[in-house]
Structure 1
Amino acid sequence: MKVSRKKALQSLVTGFVAVPSLSQANTNAELSRFKEEFSEAWKSSKKYTLTIYNQMPEEKMEFKYTPESFSWRTQFVHCIVFTTAQLCGRLNILNPNESKEKKQGYWKTLTKTELEQELIGFYDWVEKVVTETHTEKLLQMENYAGGQIPIWRLFCTLENHIIHHRGQAICYLRLNGVTPEGYIGW
């Protein structure tokens, strides 16, 4: 088979044009898979967080193991406030807690049941944010902890932060004579 120079150049140009679009298709597929996997893991995280949270008696909401440590309540409020602020600031979206935070002492006045509802709303909000964030935004690089990470990885980093505080909450339960319910795997 004889190929003309013109045909060979056309094939090369077509190949160079197709490679980025294939790469973009792969990236879109990978980010779609990330959203699905994160959503599934996030639902499990929500279930386990609520399981741990609901094991502490309401009268222990202000328990601290040392004066400088977070209270039981603050462990969970911190997860809500920090994660929400990180996502809103980096994604340039409205903070759903903004009006609450303007109310002096809002988080400290919540009953155990009211804070549980805040946790549920928070988990639902993050899941909505991750599913509605566009591919280009998920690929955007952001400064974080002295380096740069893509936004999609920020979601995982923030979940890791919640796992840290949930682990502390498990210690709080044990210090109060409560045997935590077993780990819920993915």
Structure 2
Amino acid sequence: MKQLQIALCLTFFALAATPLFSQQNEFIADYLERLEQSRKYLLLVAETMPEEQYGFRATSESLSFAENLMHIGFALDWHSQSLLGGRESRDWNTDVIYKVSGKSKAEMIVVVDETFEAAIALIQKFNPVQLVDRLDYFGLDRTKRQIFLLLADHITHHRGQMLVSMRLNGLTPPRYVLFQ
């Protein structure tokens, strides 16, 4: 009788857990589609801005177009590789990969593209069970699922600033791409 109860409990758990795991896997698949579209659009924006305008700042307090681009790369690396992947964080003060200084437009685009590639590769292998894992995010208790969402928002925020810089330079940004 006890074995029957255990078998029924295990069966119930399996039936209840299957939709949850399926939803988590769907979240990862949806996120990867969004991230790849975001990558394509950001790279198109970066290609469209003339290199001589990469230093443009909308205001003196604003990041330049180039600084926004490289900041997106740094944050993408930190959110994906460090917060989600567990790698030690880069130190912004000593890191040279994501600094604008001395880099051409083409070099910056390669750095950001390679960062997206690495993030996508990590997320493709990400165990969906970890989406509920909690971590400290600037003093706030957040799940890894929330980190995925924060990363998407952060990319959109800084890319939006880049689009404003383009408009202020008399350029028409590339047509918006859906599902990002």
Does TM, normalized by the shorter one, top 0.5? yes
Q: Which amino acid in structure 2 is aligned with residue 73 of structure 1? A: A
Q: Does 1:143 align with 2:136?
A: yes
Query: What corresponds to 1:93 in structure 2?
Result: 87
Q: Does 1:154 align with 2:147?
A: yes
- TM-score scaled to structure 2, two decimals? 0.84
Query: What corresponds to 1:60 in structure 2?
Result: 53
| Aligned mates of 2:20, 2:138 — CA distance in 1 | 25
**Higher mean C-alpha deviation, range 30-39 or range 71-80:** 30-39
Q: Which amino acid in structure 1 is aligned with residue 158 of structure 2? A: H
Query: What corresponds to 2:125 in structure 1?
Result: 132
Match among 42, 45, 67 for residue 38 of structure 2: 45
What's the CA shift for 1:145? 5.8
- The question of whether the paired residues in 1 share the 8 Å contact of 2:135 and 2:144 is answered with yes
Residues 93 and 25 (structure 1), Cα distance of their counterparts in 2 relative to 1, 3 Å cut: farther
Match among 20, 37, 50 for residue 13 of structure 2: 20
| Aligned mates of 1:80, 1:104 — CA distance in 2 | 9
Any stretches of 5+ residues in structure 2 without a counterpart?
A: none
Q: Does 1:115 align with 2:108?
A: yes
Residues 155 and 77 (structure 1), Cα distance of their counterparts in 2 relative to 1, 3 Å cut: same
**Higher mean C-alpha deviation, range 43-52 or range 139-148:** 139-148
What's the CA shift for 1:36? 1.4
Q: 1:55-76, CA deviations, whole angstroms, 9 ceiling, x for partnerless residues?
A: 2110011111222210110101
SS at match of 1:54: helix
SS at match of 2:60: coil
- TM-score scaled to structure 1, two decimals? 0.82
Q: Does 1:169 align with 2:142?
A: no
| Aligned mates of 2:97, 2:23 — CA distance in 1 | 43
What's the CA shift for 1:106? 4.7
**Higher mean C-alpha deviation, range 25-34 or range 35-44:** 25-34
What's the CA shift for 1:105? 8.5
| Aligned mates of 2:66, 2:102 — CA distance in 1 | 10
Instruction: Tell me which protein shows more helix as a share of its residues.
Output: 1
What's the CA shift for 1:102? 4.1
Greater gyration radius: 1
Q: Which amino acid in structure 2 is aligned with residue 36 of structure 1? A: A
What's the CA shift for 1:156? 2.1
Aligned length: 176
- The RMSD of aligned alpha carbons is 2.4
What's the CA shift for 1:40? 1.1
